[in-house]
Amino acid sequence: MTTTFHNHIAGQWQPALGGARFEDRNPADERDLIGLFPDSGAEDVQVAVAAVGQAWPAWAAASPEVRANVLFKAADLMSARAEAIAAELTREEGKTLGEALNESRRIAANFRLYAGEALRLGGETYASEAGQMVLSLRQPVGVVAVITPWNFPLSMAARKIAPALAAGNGVIFKPSEVTPLMGQRLVEVLLDAGLPAGLLALVHGRGASVGQAITASRGIDALTFTGSYQVGRQIAAALSTDTRCQLEMGGKNATIVLGDADLDKAAAIIRRGAFGLTGQACTGTSRVLVARPLYAAMVEKLAETARGIRVGRGTAEGVGMGPVATAQQYEKVLNYIDIARAEGARVVTGGASLRESDPALAHGYFISPAVIDGVTPQSRLMKEEIFGPVVAICPFDDFDEATTLADDTEYGLAVSLVTNDLQKVIAFAQRTQHGIVKVNSPTGGVSLNAPFGGFKHSSNQAAKEQGGANVMDFYTRIKAVYLGG
């Protein structure tokens, strides 16, 4: 029997007002129907925004301990449910069970981090005239809209919703229509932890309907979004000028292998960055820049590494890479392989659909991990975000050229340097136009308490996500108070 899920608005589970629904299917087997979800519209958004607008002032007036205790309880519940939710995440999004467990377990840590921030949230005092004191207060902004992508449907949502709630805001949450079940499970955890009715609205639906209705609403005080640059640009243009906006919008991340690098170490770093999570991470490695003396050996080493990755269902033993998440993404990745050949590049290994070659994979969106060389710095594979298991390799002649090539993209999210030369590490970290710089580690993977965000088209340069106290800059307004005089 097919399970039907609902929105959560004004403290009640309810279908879309228009009655429409959409299907959620398993990318490893498109025959597997996970459930039916509300295909909501503008009227659902209006009701949700109004309900959250009524609920948040009481939450803002609650003591910090009350808000912290709800988040601490949510962390405990998430820890208890992590394995069950991870299994559902693998079924819904396709990542391996190990990757799903890492993500589900990380949510509890997110909740605990921001529970602590609720207790630490405070202002400052300033030097002033005799007989007078000047201080600042942090107060919630009000109604925060959270729009998240499908590739990290739990962690992206938690690192936005948790600080919003910790600061005393209400939240309207639109998860991706590709992974609606994960949005459902996250909201269930928070409600079971005692979050007040109406404070968190869950509105399922498509970006073209729900997303646009959210950006058009004048009841939204702040909006935080992670997704493509194209959609982020549309959101920024649609919002009113007094609505706070935080946009994180992807990357075209490079790993640079300098001449002193160990090839085995470099290959392992690139494997994790390029093919972990099926290459579907905004911080994933899609470009590899290699010192020319190491280039031929590095190409062969990477090809050997890619061939050693077993592709299959994320729940199967020994599988190192699952399917891409959607039919659209499947077609996009294969199209880029065709583009590479048309541009004269060489597909060293991979880049093939596995539907016909393996009967066990015939109904999923499986593609073998691709290593491509013979790419020029101006090729589309070096410029455009593919978001799949494809890595393009290009040589460089010296350190200055490597730095220039790494920055030669409209994005500036993450970059990795593989070397033992400390002076070059320092010089590169100061010069590169990327918001995250990794040394001898993959471009992907970040700390919960470190600032997250990119430069150029990777971000709109609002307050950073994550990072402890500074993350609260987006979710709070600062008020100056003068005492005495």
Q: Which residue has the tokens 């529970």?
A: 115
Residue 342's CB: how many other CB atoms inside 10 A? Answer: 9
> Which is the catalytic residue, given 177, 248, 385, 465?
248
Q: Report the interhelical angle of 64-93 vs 155-166 (nearest 10°).
A: 170
Of 229, 235, 194, the closest CA to residue 217 belongs to: 235
Residue 217 three-state SS: coil
- Write the DSSP string, 396-447: ESSHHHHHHHHH-SSEESEEEEE-S-HHHHHHHHHH---SEEEESS-SS---
Q: Which of 265, 200, 274, 213 is nearest to 239 (CA)?
A: 213
List the one residue out of 350, 320, 337, 423 whose CA is nearest residue 381: 337
Structure tokens at 232: 């982020």
Strand partners, 337: none
Among this protein's residues, is 88 annotated catalytic?
no
The whole-angstrom separation of Cα 466 and Cα 263 is: 33
The answer to whether 197 touches 2, Cβ cutoff 8 Å, is no
Residues labelled catalytic? 248
